[in-house]
Structure 1
Amino acid sequence: MLIEVPPPSHHKHSYDFARMVDNMDMGNIQIVTEGARSLERYLLGRLDGISMGCWLDTLDFHVAAQLCENFGLLLTRGPKASRTETTERQWLEAGAAGYDVLRNGPDQMVAALEELRMKAGPGCHTYGAIAGSFLTWLSQREDDAAFNDIRQRVFDYILRTYPVLVGSTVLRIRCERQRVYSLRKGAKAYGIDERMLRHKLLERGDISKSGKSGAITYRRYPSRETLQQLADETNGLLRGFDAADYLGLDIHLLRTFVVERLVKKAGEMARNAPYFQREDLDAFLGRLCRQTRPELEPANDEVSLIAATPVCQCSTVELLHLIFEHDIPLRCAAGVSPRFDDFLISVERVKTAIGQSSAGAISMSEAAGKLGVDTATIRNLVNAGYLSAAPKTERSSERWLVVDEASVTAFGEQYISAADLARELRRDTANLCRELYKNGVEPLVFNGNNRIIFRRRDVN
């Protein structure tokens, strides 16, 4: 039994009250706190014709009473609370909790439902898991028209908050149009890359990720309007691998181009994964297209840009800088929509440009041609100090080695390759070398596997 026991000084008939409770089981009496009687006082006031000037006053008496109790039961006992197992005291506490929220209007009811949803934490929670007991009770009020406005308000909240499918029934009301979507279904419905959509929703703060697990908390499910906006915004955006395929490049080479600012990225997703606008990729290809000369006669040494790098012993980035700085003409083997590997370049033109990039410098290939050796021997001669490397530009890498032309000329005046010597003497190279060895003439010794080189003074 629940009973309010006021202090004797506040009761005119304390003696009569004491006689009335003489036969009661005093151990069963539970004292009711003042705070748990807020709904009771409100309802008694309504019966006495007192208006509180709140939203509940606009509802029928039984609607206001039941709504406060059952909404309060959700707040105090949770979404799995059983109405049949709720005690009298729990009903009283639930009614007070519901009244304290609902007296402030229907917006506060919605705000309380939203707070319960956010407290649920990461994951994709259903509205039943958040407010099951309250929704079950409200759906059972369909035969009472006095509850229709409440049911419609909660129905509208659920549809704009949870991804309810078309044809589903919520609170005995049919859903005719889906208003919000989960990430995966929204991406599919609006043709947005799922990772891109996740990135955009994280940027907007509509979703958040927790800890190492990466579980998603939906602060707001994306609405139809949001998804359409993001679909328009991301139209033409490509992830790294898709952008590389669009350009006809390896993904690692594309990343290098981004670092060198040859290709502009639109932004980054999680773990520094870049994404690109199609128009920026087209701008890069367009820059190459402007280097093409349709009237140019094909050269015998034309190769693709990728194939040119090992032949010219420079990186792809260095090759592009050479093309743009020295206005090296290209030819295009493709039609309307060329990709990177469709552009052709003359190897000789690249080598000439490499030599021109540093004053008084020539490429390793040109140095090798002057001395009658291969480029590996030229590199070893530089490392051994017989030849001098020319100063490199800031953008050059270690693979792009140019040689000081004066040092090559000076070296050629003192040394001669076995191949050139045999050509001058019209002798077989191998037989000539054996004869020179037999006569005590030693070749130049330096690190690496090199072509044979003799001092001119030893063979004159």
Structure 2
Amino acid sequence: MIHHMGERVKGAAGAGWFDNLPFHVATQTCENFGLLLLKGPTTNRQLVSDLDWAKSGHIGFTFLRHGPDAMIEKLAELERRRPNDNSLYRARFGVFFEWLRNREDDPAFDAIRDPVRQFIFDTYPVQKDALVLGVKNPRRKLHTHRSLSKERRLDFTKTGHALLQRGDVRKNDSNSFELLRYVPSNVADEIAHELNRVFTAERTAKKLGVTRATLSQLSQNRLIQPHFKHRGAVPGFHSNEIWRFATSVTKGWVPFLGNKSAAKWVSFQDAAKRCKCATWQVLGMVIPYGLPVTNPDRKKKLLSDHITCPRALARKYDEVERNAVTFLKAGNMLGCNTAQVEELVVRGLLTETPAFAIRSRKKYRTVELAGVHSLLNGDQQI
């Protein structure tokens, strides 16, 4: 740098961006930017030796001679290599940033301030109207986990699970959320819209008209899908999934008026008692087999307000049970063990009876008898 600036004093300067900077701007920027790279952000400028100032000027010059983009790219590299902490630009660029901030009374430094400030606005979660190098941030571009939940008035834990599902945070050893990358504002909008439509398990059960225990069983047996899929997530259900489940239960809806047989129909809870099974199992049977349902009062839309035909349900249970065999019996018929039967299920050659169709308390795993016969007759290749 010393040689280059000496040539500039002699009138032999080039025509690039760096050569057009005022002399004091060019030299000071080289030294202070180089000091950041040489000694780190926490360096005390008052304690820097003359030799280190000379080294710093040379290091800074190797970047600044190529224009502001080279300087910004180096700052971006420092950000990418940052330690895993919550510190922002002041801590990251300490000595260089503080030096530049103290030059606000000299407009000649705008050539350095402007690109650095824009880089900070584009790279860090700076809130709207926050002052950076003498200028207010016109709009927030990035969020942290906390700023997102606070500004959008979202539950902190629920927001964390949404970010975890997107891969923007992870769980650390203390089981706390750890931010991996800042969240762009457009993604923050999507998350806010998403979470405003995710309801707790208690509220979902109330919306559907079922008990909390029934909802838990429905979820465990994958009849209704929770919104957050990862392990240890808070149980929440999206409005779209709630609607999908409710309409799948009522897809066999028939009019109540004029339907004489419906006078003997009962609620899902009472149907469960008659068939000696759980309410969630009745709902499970209604969905795939399209059993008839209706609601005597059309103004009431909850599942608890609907009724179904207990005889149709019992007949369907009997039909499923007649056409099902245990894994052990299927293995004996096919000449294999239960592990091999399970492999046939995984391969799709046998169909396992769903848990909601098994009324026995012992809950033996069973497969459809028709599939076993198909394999015995050679209709399918094992």
Question: Which residue of 2 is the match for residue 278 of structure 1?
Answer: 239
Alignment match of 1:343 (pick from 295, 306, 316): 306
SS at match of 1:268: coil
Opposite residue 275 of structure 2, the aligned amino acid is: C
TM-score of the superposed pair, with normalisation by structure 2: 0.71
Q: How many residues align?
A: 332
Looking at structure 1, the residues matched to 161 and 249 of structure 2 have their Cα atoms a distance apart, in angstroms, of 32
Residue 135 (structure 1) shift: 1.6
Looking at structure 2, the residues matched to 46 and 337 of structure 1 have their Cα atoms a distance apart, in angstroms, of 86
Answering whether residue 84 of structure 2 is matched by residue 122 of structure 1, we say: yes
Answering whether residue 124 of structure 2 is matched by residue 162 of structure 1, we say: yes
Kindly indicate whether the alpha-carbon contact (under 8 Å) linking 1:69 and 1:95 is maintained by their aligned counterparts in 2: yes
Rate the CA distance shift 1:71–1:240 in 2: closer, same or farther, 3 A: farther
TM-score of the superposed pair, with normalisation by structure 1: 0.60
Answering whether residue 282 of structure 2 is matched by residue 319 of structure 1, we say: yes
SS at match of 1:216: strand
Deviates more, 1:269-278 or 1:287-296: 269-278
Alignment match of 2:292 (pick from 320, 323, 329): 329
Question: Which residue of 2 is the match for residue 376 of structure 1?
Answer: none
Residue 140 (structure 1) shift: 1.5
Answering whether residue 44 of structure 2 is matched by residue 82 of structure 1, we say: yes
Looking at structure 2, the residues matched to 251 and 172 of structure 1 have their Cα atoms a distance apart, in angstroms, of 55
Alignment match of 2:187 (pick from 226, 248, 253): 226
Rate the CA distance shift 1:144–1:121 in 2: closer, same or farther, 3 A: same
Question: Which residue of 2 is the match for residue 449 of structure 1?
Answer: none
Opposite residue 305 of structure 2, the aligned amino acid is: D
Deviates more, 1:85-94 or 1:318-327: 318-327
Kindly indicate whether the alpha-carbon contact (under 8 Å) linking 2:251 and 2:290 is maintained by their aligned counterparts in 1: no
Kindly indicate whether the alpha-carbon contact (under 8 Å) linking 2:223 and 2:284 is maintained by their aligned counterparts in 1: no
Opposite residue 353 of structure 2, the aligned amino acid is: E
Looking at structure 1, the residues matched to 260 and 217 of structure 2 have their Cα atoms a distance apart, in angstroms, of 32
Looking at structure 1, the residues matched to 300 and 64 of structure 2 have their Cα atoms a distance apart, in angstroms, of 64
Looking at structure 2, the residues matched to 263 and 204 of structure 1 have their Cα atoms a distance apart, in angstroms, of 21
Counterpart mapping for 1:96-115 below 5 A: 96-115=58-77
Rate the CA distance shift 1:76–1:331 in 2: closer, same or farther, 3 A: same
Looking at structure 2, the residues matched to 161 and 152 of structure 1 have their Cα atoms a distance apart, in angstroms, of 14
Kindly indicate whether the alpha-carbon contact (under 8 Å) linking 2:161 and 2:233 is maintained by their aligned counterparts in 1: no
Answering whether residue 110 of structure 2 is matched by residue 151 of structure 1, we say: no
Answering whether residue 208 of structure 2 is matched by residue 247 of structure 1, we say: yes
Question: Which residue of 2 is the match for residue 132 of structure 1?
Answer: 94
Report the aligned-residue RMSD.
Answer: 3.7
SS at match of 1:262: coil
Kindly indicate whether the alpha-carbon contact (under 8 Å) linking 1:196 and 1:269 is maintained by their aligned counterparts in 2: no
Residue 285 (structure 1) shift: 1.0
Residue 70 (structure 1) shift: 0.9
* Unaligned runs of at least 5 residues, structure 1: 1-38, 362-392, 402-460
* Unaligned runs of at least 5 residues, structure 2: 325-351, 363-382
Looking at structure 2, the residues matched to 46 and 110 of structure 1 have their Cα atoms a distance apart, in angstroms, of 24
Looking at structure 1, the residues matched to 256 and 271 of structure 2 have their Cα atoms a distance apart, in angstroms, of 20
Question: Which residue of 1 is the match for residue 368 of structure 2?
Answer: none
Kindly indicate whether the alpha-carbon contact (under 8 Å) linking 1:74 and 1:131 is maintained by their aligned counterparts in 2: yes
SS at match of 2:308: strand
Kindly indicate whether the alpha-carbon contact (under 8 Å) linking 1:268 and 1:274 is maintained by their aligned counterparts in 2: no
Kindly indicate whether the alpha-carbon contact (under 8 Å) linking 1:263 and 1:284 is maintained by their aligned counterparts in 2: yes
Looking at structure 1, the residues matched to 322 and 290 of structure 2 have their Cα atoms a distance apart, in angstroms, of 18
Residue 173 (structure 1) shift: 2.5
Opposite residue 73 of structure 1, the aligned amino acid is: L
Rate the CA distance shift 1:71–1:210 in 2: closer, same or farther, 3 A: farther
| Larger Rg computed on CA atoms | 1
Answering whether residue 263 of structure 2 is matched by residue 304 of structure 1, we say: no
